[in-house]
Amino acid sequence: MNLLLRLIKVFPPELSHAIALNSLKILHFLNLIHLFFPKPKIQRVSLFGMDLVNRLGIAAGLDKNGDFIDSLGSLGFGFIEVGTITPMAQKGNPKPRIFRIFNENAIINRLGFNNKGVDHLVKKLKKRKFNGIVGVNIGANKESSGQDRINDYLTCFRKVHELCDYITVNISSPNTPNLRDLHQSDNLTDLLNAIEGEVIKVNYAKPIFLKISPDESRESLESIIQAVDESSFSGLIATNTTINKDNLENPRYKKLTGGLSGKPLMSKSTKTIIDIKNISLNMDIIGVGGVMTKEDFHEKINAGAGLVQIYTGFIVHGPKIVNELLK
């Protein structure tokens, strides 16, 4: 299996991604997945109104369309987040759009919310057999702006809210033009108020998280936290990828556009968690960004995250990382 994982990395990034996930799906179908990747011991925890088998989740972006919920769930994750999903299917940005920097445990991506659309995800959510916690990360189509952009979030919310255990509102991808403008106070208030209206209309009582950028100033972070505190949102996911490449050692990648994830993001995303807790001690946080080791996992929790997600660590180290983090 380790040889297969090494061979997969030779292929172009998106082909490697598809081969790896489909291989897991086949192993799950054949009921062989635990021969290669034993489930970790159950470490039950109740947080944010959810009962989980452990604190470790897979971040949005790995399974954008909900095609691999059951196979990923069988690895022993406490929760799985699918998406980012948009109302209409879209191809995303032109290739090449993923750059793997294995010697630095890092990835730069400029995918641009490529996905099959919310209706495809709805079908997958209805068919899933995994009975663990599943969250849906919602976003906006690339061509949408202004009120149309807000309406995109509302469309996704309406279609998935009954089929998942929590919802994440993604305003922080650097790869959709002007999406991060939603961090600005007036724009964010408009979005949160619109979602608040839907929450009231459908009597939605499950958690909602706002996924934020690690590149915000202290002033911006304070404004975001105030807006979330005044809304029905449960908390924050900290953080998405960073556009700052200063922590990369290889100068070849420093000027690439796109979001940087993996080990070079670890300290920055963890600092954001600490800053959030310094501003609002009671803010609920899902921590994500740069987790590669058990020590990284616990560092996020000690910083103030109740739950932790991985993405790049899963791609770099493969499914064995689930057990390694939860030992």
Alpha carbon distance 189, 228 (integer Å)? 9
> Rounded to 5 degrees, what are φ and ψ at 271?
-60, -35
Residue 139 has pLDDT above 60, yes or no: yes
Residue 249's pLDDT is 92
Mean pLDDT taken over the chain: 94
**Which token pair is 306?**
């109740």
Continuous H helices in the chain: 2-8, 13-29, 33-36, 69-73, 118-127, 146-160, 185-202, 218-229, 266-279, 294-303, 312-317, 320-326
Q: Which position among 16, 74, 173, 234 bears the catalytic label?
A: 173
- Segment 255-259 shows an average pLDDT of 92
pLDDT number for residue 8: 64
Q: Looking at residue 80, what is its pLDDT?
A: 98
DSSP state of 236: E
* Mean pLDDT, range 114-126, rounded to an integer: 98
SS3 state at 174: coil
Pairing verdict, β 284-288 and 235-238: parallel
pLDDT score recorded for residue 7: 58
Q: At what angle do helices 185-202 and 146-160 cross, to 10 degrees?
A: 30
- What gap in Å lies between CA 291 and CA 298, rounded to an integer? 9
Local confidence band at 6 (pLDDT 50, 70, 90 cut-offs): low
Q: Give the model's pLDDT for residue 175.
A: 83
Has residue 2 got a pLDDT over 90?
no
| pLDDT tens per residue, range 184-202 | 888 999 999 999 999 999 9
Q: Which of 153, 157, 138 is nearest to 187 (CA)?
A: 153
- Predicted confidence (pLDDT) at residue 296 exceeds the cutoff of 90: yes
**Rg (the chain; Cα; Å):** 18
pLDDT given at position 131: 93
pLDDT in tens, 213-248: 999 999 999 999 999 999 999 999 999 999 999 999
Mean pLDDT, range 122-136, rounded to an integer: 97
Distance, in Å, from the CA atom of 40 to the CA atom of 322, rounded to the nearest integer, reads 7
173 labelled catalytic: yes
Tell me the per-residue pLDDT of 30-47, one tens digit each, with 9 for 90 and over. 999 999 999 999 999 999
Give the whole-number percent of the chain exceeding pLDDT 90: 88
Q: What is the pLDDT of residue 53?
A: 97
The pLDDT-based confidence of 11 (bands split at 50, 70, 90) is: confident
Residue reference for tokens 């420093």 = 254
**Interval 143-180: pLDDT, tens:** 998 999 999 999 999 999 999 999 999 998 888 888 88
Q: Which CATH architecture has domain 2-326?
A: Alpha-Beta Barrel (3.20)
With bands split at pLDDT 50, 70 and 90, how would you rate the model's confidence at 14? confident
Cβ neighbors of 7 (< 8 A, separation 6 or more) are none
| pLDDT tens digits, 85-108 | 999 999 999 999 999 999 999 999
From residue 7, alpha-carbon distances to 12, 87, 92, 97, 270 in Å are 11, 36, 27, 21, 32
